[in-house]
Structure 1
Amino acid sequence: MMNRRRTLALATGLLAAPSLLRAGTAPVKIRDLYDKDRTMSDLALSLVDARTTFEGFMAPPLKAESRFFVMTKMPMSVCPFCETSAQWPDNILAVYTKRIVDVVPFNVGIETRGVLEIGEYRDPETGFVSMVRLADATYGR
């Protein structure tokens, strides 16, 4: 039988459910993609081809009207551009989107979600080399 207490408990549970589900899928930290020797971690390898969420900051884009940006773990006012895969820093993540990137100020935190890819890739338009990236990504504050 449904009484007032059960109704309130059910309503409270339904309101809390999205946050409980969200808590189970906490964003991955960029640094957790690497082991101490700068190789890909077991976590990173387990997330390849999976839609994964990261939190960080958008570095200033390399060019206007791009579908690509670099996510950093800390705000950076300049883009951390790499010449070769050997120089790839372990605190950035290349993010490729379907739409033109709407630039977010470098000091405003964002969350991005996309399909994790690992392996050397050179962007044909910018020459940017990435060792790890999100494809088909979305992002927001």
Structure 2
Amino acid sequence: MTLDRRNFLIGSSAALLGLAAGTLPARAAETIKIRDIYKNQNEFSDTAKRLAGKHIEIPGFMAPPLKADANFFVLTKRPMSVCPFCETSADWPNDIVFVRMHKKLDAVRFNRPIIARGVLELGVAKDQETGFVSLVRLVDASFDLV
């Protein structure tokens, strides 16, 4: 019985030390679907508002990039063979997300499912590099094939 108690105490102490040192694995980012970002056409959902400023994951598809060496793309909820970008926030469709990568993009086929990861930003913003206006963005993003 003493040996079991000793192992328990040693394991518990190691776990507490790991927590204090920040060496335990981080909690996975929360996933939200594009359709769940909006409450209605003109208002963000409570879930999206809660996740704003946090690292999240969004599954979807990469629309074809506008230029070959881009560090951004448009994430769509369904495959699109053309880029769906609009010129003003008033015309912004509620089924796309502007994704700004932290490095140059290796584009994938428009019909290949991906998971985009990054920090969720909500509200009207004009991208300084491209001039695009967006309502929903993932910044400092990356993606993986599904």
- With the shorter chain as reference, the TM-score category is 0.7 to 0.9
Q: TM-score, structure 2 length as denominator?
A: 0.77
Do 1:117 and 1:135's aligned partners in 2 also have CA atoms closer than 8 Å? Answer: yes
Task: Note the 1:11-90 alignment, pairs <5 A.
Answer: 27-90=31-94
Gaps (5+ residues) in structure 1?
2-20
Q: How many Å apart are 1:26 and its aligned residue?
A: 6.0
Structure 1 or 2, whichever has the larger Rg, is 2
Q: TM-score, structure 1 length as denominator?
A: 0.79
Q: 1 or 2, which has the higher strand percentage?
A: 2
Distance in 2 (CA, whole Å) between partners of 1:77 and 1:89 is 16
Do 1:61 and 1:70's aligned partners in 2 also have CA atoms closer than 8 Å? Answer: yes
Distance in 1 (CA, whole Å) between partners of 2:120 and 2:64 is 21
Q: CA RMSD in A?
A: 1.6
Moved over 4 A (4+): none
CA shift digits 1:63-119 (9 cap, x unpaired): 221111000000000000111000010000011111101001000000011000011
Quick one: which amino acid aligns to residue 95 of structure 2? N
Do 1:52 and 1:114's aligned partners in 2 also have CA atoms closer than 8 Å? Answer: yes
Identity %: 52
Do 2:33 and 2:59's aligned partners in 1 also have CA atoms closer than 8 Å? Answer: yes
Equivalenced residue count is 120
